[in-house]
Copies of this chain bind each other. A is one copy, B any other.
């Protein structure tokens, strides 16, 4: 009822789960809310995923795949490594600008499932490792300081996103982008002015 019934139940469930989990948190949303928002039978959820935990992991993995695709599309034609890294910030800024933004869904999921080795925590770490790998390859010409730059970039990235969640303003992530541009020595107007 809620969504167009043209999609298969698994897709409608993931769409509804993404909307509800990102907005209210994972533990705060029950299975009944998900199936109601998806317009799907409970048996279809357990047929498709088997458990709520598996649905959560699938939600994270689908978002991870979407984020990777968005990054690939956004950096197409971008040659400069620093610009490619800053593209991640631009994508985060665009996401943070949406009303009802509730912070990084990977960090949020890691917060709600803090047990080490938990499948949710591993899905989160897989995403973060992928991000670091992209930045690392983008900064491949920096020699031995590359790893340090990647680590510092992640501090800025995480801090910017965490600030957005609390301040309900995109200012922290915009500032983090500026700091990353300074760290990496970008030749951009906003960096040259400072």
Interface residue A8 (Cβ < 8 Å from any Cβ of B): no
Would you give the 0/1 interface string for A102-141, flagging 1 where the beta carbon is closer than 8 Å to chain B? 1100011011111110000000110010000000000000
Query: In the assembled complex, which residues on chain B have CB atoms less than 8 Å from the CB atom of A125?
Result: 166
In the bound complex, CA of A85 to CA of B98 (Å) = 33
Which B residue's beta carbon lies closest to that of A22? B114
| Residue A157 at the chain B interface, CB threshold 8 Å | yes
A52 to chain B, nearest CB (A): 13
**How far, in angstroms, from A96 to B172 measured CA to CA in the complex?**
23
Do B27 and A27 touch across chains, with their CB atoms under 8 A apart? yes
Partner of A24, one of B114, B161, B175: B114
Q: How many residues of A contact B (CB 8 A)?
A: 40
Instruction: Find A156's partner among B151, B159, B161, B168 (CB 8 Å cutoff).
Output: B159
B154 touches A158 (CB 8 A): no
- Decide if A158 touches B151 in the complex (CB within 8 Å): no
Within 8 Å CB of A115, what residues of B?
24
A148 → chain B closest CB, angstroms: 8
Contact residue among B114, B157, B163 (Cβ-Cβ distance under 8 Å from A25): B114
CA distance A115 to B102 in the complex (A): 9
B152 with A179: CB separation less than 8 A? yes
Listed in ascending order, the chain A residues whose CB lies under 8 Å from chain B are 23-25, 27-28, 102-103, 107-108, 110-116, 124-125, 128, 148, 151-152, 154-163, 165-166, 168, 171-172, 175-176, 179
Q: List 9 A-B contacts (CB under 8 A).
A: A103-B111, A107-B162, A111-B112, A151-B171, A151-B175, A155-B176, A156-B159, A158-B163, A161-B162
